[in-house]
Amino acid sequence: MTCLAEASDMDFLGPRIAADGLLYCIRRPHRSPRRSLRPLQLIEDILLFPFRLIYAFFQYLNLFTMMYTGKPLAKSGGPDRPHADMQRMTIWGNLIEARNNIVKGDTAASLVPDSWELCIIASGRAPEILAKGVLSFDLEPDGSIVFSDGSAIYRRKPDGEVSRLHKDAMIQQVISFGGHTAVLQS
């Protein structure tokens, strides 16, 4: 095995080697999956564990009761009135806001931060950044690069000219073959 690129503070996604031998990839800052141990948080979690366990058990019984009787287990707090689940409403609000921000007018908001960079890595040289905010890319035989930021698809020609090919919501991956581009959306 040969290491193509490495850095302790960066991840390299989707590496592809072009016909000329250059390495193309998406470079992004590395995020450690482990959280640091905070002693006060650990003590709080240990002290609150019994209360959280009792609360979870009560919520399980409450759900079970609601499914079979349609009434909650406890009725403390005031008169019955329909209310929206705040967590669900927050999620819906965020989804609507994201959807509205994705395709607005002639510009499209990127789904990934600018720190996700499409770059060329050659040995003995600093990485050359071709585009920022890149979620997926593919190389074309003529040396062009097709890439997406999740909201639009772009083509970068070998001379550096970038043009937008398509705009849509939630583009996950682009694949180029024979001058045509396939899109995977969620």
Residue 71 φ then ψ, to 5°: -120, 145
Dump pLDDT digits (tens) for 127-175. 888 888 888 898 888 888 899 888 888 889 888 888 888 888 778 888 8
Tell me, what CATH number does 138's domain have?
2.120.10.30
Q: What is the pLDDT of residue 62?
A: 86
| Number of domain units in the chain | 1
Instruction: Give residue 100's pLDDT.
Output: 61
Q: How far apart are CA 127 and CA 129, in angstroms?
A: 6
pLDDT, one tens digit per residue, over 47-92 is 999 999 999 999 889 888 888 887 887 776 555 555 556 666 676 7
- Residue at 125 is within a domain: yes
> In terms of Cα–Cα distance, which of 17, 15, 42 is closest to 27?
15
171 found inside a domain: yes
Rounded Cα gap, residues 41 and 129, in angstroms: 40
DSSP sequence for 43-63: HHHHHHHHHHHHHHHHHHHHH
In a domain, 53, yes or no: no
